[in-house]
Amino acid sequence: MDRAQNLLQKYFGYPSFKKGQAMVIASLLEGRDTLAIMPTGAGKSVCYQIPALLFSGVTLVVSPLIALMKDQVDALNALGIPAAFINSSLKQSEMRARLENAREGCYKLLYVAPERLESEDFMHLAQTLDVSFLAVDEAHCVSQWGHDFRPSYRNIAPFIEALPKKPVVGAFTATATVEIKGDITRFLSLKNADVFVTGFNRENLSFSVLRGENKKDFVLEFLRSNQGQSGIIYAATRKEVDQLYELIKSKGIPCGKYHAGMKEDERVSSQEAFLRDDLPVMVATNAFGMGIDKSNVRFVIHYNMPKNMEAYYQEAGRAGRDGDPGECILLFGAQDILLQKFLIEQTVYSPHRKNQEFNKLQIMTDYCHTPRCLRKYILDYFGEEDVEGNCGNCGNCRDERELADITLETQMILSCVVRMKESFGTVMVAEVLKGSKNKKVLQFGFDKLSTYGLLKQYTLQETKDLINLLVAEGYLTLTEGKFPVVRLGRKAVPVLKNGEKVWQKMRAKIEKKPDDALFEKLRSLRKEIADRESIPPYIVFADSTLREMSESCPLDNQAMLNIKGVGEQKLQRFGEQFLQVIREHSQACDQ
């Protein structure tokens, strides 16, 4: 472990391991099969990269996505660690060259897709190599209960059995239920494995759920107030991604998009632009998933409620991987529940599995409505029941917004729904309250209702937002189906008959984050170097490293080495350029 610690400092520039990393690495170095369940951003990759440097032979890393392999290999090569990947993106000549280099022992880490293990050529190669360690990244893919099931992961155990000698096996995942843990152990044939659950708490992330918002307006306002910050906006469908992307772009805000309906070259180009900070914002479906190893994502917005907590926490966890603060915002709308139910109906065929998915969806819905600490709710779900009190860093804990009495508006809306015989959707109810002369409104004679035009001072969108808020709070409900109908909810009668008060918290104005002149100069330099070296900026230095540089202002090599994230290799390659910017900035401030 002393040697492991030295390598961590030398290559990665960190004086100590994060919580849980040391236990996992020690287990692997003792030659024990190991299952590590660590949240996104907890440093899983270091847990197999450091042992790979200490084991005598080569380490095979089974990884699910081409983009993820390339990302990690680029990062390792930038640190001076010999690594390569073998996958379908390579030309035949490149493939042959890498296979030959592997035979000659040129690599310490060799990344492969699980499908590659079925190839006879690759099996012949593997049988000639000294494979001392096999690391399985995103190991939950082996389980049909996991949210990213890949049948090819079931080929890993037979591949291991066919090797001349059994390597140490390490399995790594961010989230795993009891069922998934059992599947990982069984289908990867882990022998007497050590199992480490290092804790799911990401203290640098703040969580918030906003209900009844005009989602498009919120996103645009948020992006304008966080200009230049890197972030991901997840939407549930390709159509919603396309529409949101066009809206954001039309407002002059640079962004990319990513979903499975795009051509492969378009997806690759968009992802590369995001990784290199050419496009700060990505609008995507959950297809934009496990390949994102970008450390400086400052926010993740869920435009729709995800289908379960595992998917939500993994996606939200892509914020703040460098340890700096990250915002995780979920924009909840009542339609989200119906959409996710529809997607489950369309994609899940086993009755038992379908019921399980519906139960998980209900837990996610409850999360969107709970008044208690959001962080505690998440940690309770993942079994960390010893967490006490409130975190003070989630939307519910720090909610100091002013309350507005909307009882009268609520009574008007509920009365309108009753007079329309609980038979129409949100838009029609809003149009009646607005006093619209829409053809259907007049056709049904709704202009004769006593509630017609009662909310004419509001825009149509504001009235729809208010209806959505009342649905989210249980005053109204929506029926299932393609065209959901608005009906009274369980909390409606006390408001209508007894005048029970209804309060709405008014959304506070989004504050623009203060600029840091030196930090921005260092970011600009990082981008120049990254473009010149054809690597993503965060591979040069993470945001947290630049932040520490801007705060402590190192002026020589030794001071620079004391910055977390600055190892010997990076100091040699980039250190002087960053020191020069810091010195010039310091001199300008002194004058």
**Closest to 34 (Cα-Cα) out of 19, 17, 16, 21:** 21
Per-position b or e across 497-522, b if 16+ CB within 10 A of its CB: eeeeebebeeeeeeeeeeeeebbebb
Beta bridge partners of 134: 60, 169
What does the DSSP 8-state code read for residue 9?
A: I
385: left (phi over 0), alpha (psi -120 to 50) or beta: alpha
Instruction: Say whether pLDDT at 326 is over 90.
Output: yes
Write out the two tokens for 312: 């939500």
Quickly state the pLDDT bin for 334 (edges 50, 70, 90). confident
Q: Give the pLDDT band (50/70/90) at residue 95.
A: confident
Shortest CA distance to 580 belongs to which of 543, 545, 553? 553
The amino acid sitting at 299 is F
Question: How many angstroms from the chain centroid is the CA of residue 194?
Answer: 27
Task: Please indicate, yes or no, whether the overall pTM of this predicted structure exceeds 0.85.
Answer: no
> 372-382 burial, b for 16+ CB within 10 Å, e for fewer?
ebbbbbbbebb
Mean pLDDT of 140-153: 81
Helix (DSSP H) and strand (DSSP E) numbers for the chain: 26, 17
Residue with tokens 């843990």: 181
What pLDDT is recorded for position 89?
Answer: 82
Any idea which residue has 């304008």 for tokens?
Answer: 224
pLDDT per residue as tens digits for the range 175-222? 777 788 899 999 999 989 999 988 788 889 999 999 878 899 999 999
Domains annotated for the chain, with CATH where assigned, are 2-197 (3.40.50.300), 205-381 (3.40.50.300), 403-505 (1.10.10.10), 517-590 (1.10.150.80)
Counting beta carbons within 10 angstroms of the beta carbon of residue 56, is it exposed (0 to 12), middle (13 to 18) or buried (19 or more)? Answer: exposed
Mean pLDDT of 74-87: 92
- Better-scored residue on pLDDT, 496 or 400: 496
Nearest to 316 by CA among 326, 308, 307: 326
pLDDT value at residue 513 = 52
Q: Which residues pair with 196 in a beta bridge?
A: 36
pLDDT of residue 417: 97
Q: What is the pLDDT of residue 146?
A: 63
Q: What is the mean pLDDT of the chain?
A: 88
Condensed to tens digits (0 to 9), the pLDDT of residues 522-581 reads 999 999 999 998 888 988 998 889 988 998 889 999 889 989 899 999 999 999 999 999
Check residue 506 and give its pLDDT.
Answer: 66
Q: What is the pLDDT at residue 591?
A: 56
pLDDT of residue 480: 67
Q: What is the mean pLDDT of residues 433-448?
A: 95
pLDDT digits (tens, 9 = 90+) for 282-307: 999 986 765 567 889 999 999 999 99
Model confidence pLDDT, tens digit, residues 336-391 = 888 898 888 888 778 888 888 888 888 898 888 787 789 998 988 887 766 667 88
Q: What is the pLDDT of residues 39-54, one digit of tens each?
A: 877 788 999 999 999 9
Residue predicted with more confidence, 41 or 112: 112
